[in-house]
Structures are given as structure tokens and as C-alpha cells.
Amino acid sequence: MSEKALAHRYKGSRTPVREAAVRLQQERLLRVVPNRGYFVSPITLRELNEVYEYRSAVECAAADLAARKGADPELLEQLTVLARTPYQGYDRKGCMAFIQADTAFHVGIARLSRNQMLERAVSEARCQMERIMYAAIDINYYGEFPLREHMQILDAIRNHDPQLARECMFQHIIQSKDKVLRLASSNPRQL
């Protein structure tokens, strides 16, 4: 789409559209082709791997720190509710609600670490992850519900077991990565 068309569509000027495009470009979500317009950037296998490597590094560290520092009982209860967010694989709205709850869960684990830099890093990683998850709705990514894995992470944090919290988070991320890569290789045009 062109800058002019987007400004018209959202009833604004071209300046905010341009500023948003710059931000989306920095986040590798959009590419600008001079004299042609804006295009959504495709997700490459390399980017998928990088997102999961980054998530593994920051989210495992966040889970470890959350277990070491002692958890806020109120936030733990909120995360338990988020972990139990139901969805049906064939229900697009349910999947979208699950994605939002999943993001809130993972950012909440980072909040439990009481490290603002980790929280910001997890939030940024989730931006890329949500893109993958929204793209995966149509290829049945949501066949398995991660309730058990989320609860294992929370239990390790509650029990002040940083090594187990780190390991549970790592296994959760790796299982997601393996499934997404399998689906991406069998449906390369979907992601």
C-alpha cells in the first residue's frame, strides 16, 4: 500500500503513517520499496530461528530470575489464569484471544524477574512471536494447548527452583519452535 492510501484509509496525514512505517521497518515487519509502497516482510526460516534463539536466551533468564527473587503471589495468580485461557483450534477469535493471553503470560514471567531490561526484551520478542502465531492460525499451530508447560514453569517459580524454571521455559520454547518449523516447511507460503 502507498503512504497516501494508508493516510486516507485511517483518516490521518502522511506523517504519522511514515513514522509508523519507520518503526515497523525497524522491527522487520515492513519493507519499503521506493515508488511502489509498503509491503509486509515475509518471515524467513532464518528469522524464525533467530526469534526462537532470542526468546530462549531472554525468557529462560527471566524464568530463572523470577524463581531466584521470589514471586509476587498476585501476579502468579494472574499468570495462572492466563495459562488456562481456553481456545478451539478451529475458532479464529479463540486463537486470537489465546495469542494475547500467551503474550501476557510470557511478559508476566519477565515482570516476575523484576528486571525491566528483561521485561522489555521479552515484550520485543513477543512482537515477532505474535506475528508468527497469527500467521500460524490457518495452518493449525494450535493443535496442542501449552497449559501443562505453562503450569510447570509457574510451579518451578513458586518453588524457588531457578534451574527447573529455566529448563521448563527452554523446553516450552523448543517445542514451539520445532512445531512451527515443521509447519513452516510443510506450508512455506503460509508464514
- Domain limits, the chain: 3-40, 45-186
User: pLDDT: is 118 or 187 the higher one?
Assistant: 118
Predicted local confidence at residue 88, as pLDDT: 67
Mean pLDDT, the chain, integer: 86
Over residues 87-103, the mean pLDDT reads 82
Cα(129)–Cα(72) distance, integer angstroms: 26
Cβ contact 159:181 at 8 Å: no
Predicted local confidence at residue 187, as pLDDT: 62
Cβ contact 32:6 at 8 Å: no
pLDDT band at 48 (very low <50, low <70, confident <90, very high): confident
Cα(20)–Cα(16) distance, integer angstroms: 6
User: pLDDT: is 96 or 161 the higher one?
Assistant: 161
Predicted local confidence at residue 128, as pLDDT: 84
Q: Give the right CATH number for 45-186 from 1.20.120.530, 3.40.50.1360, 3.40.220.10, 1.10.287.3610.
A: 1.20.120.530
Cα(72)–Cα(112) distance, integer angstroms: 7
pLDDT band at 118 (very low <50, low <70, confident <90, very high): very high
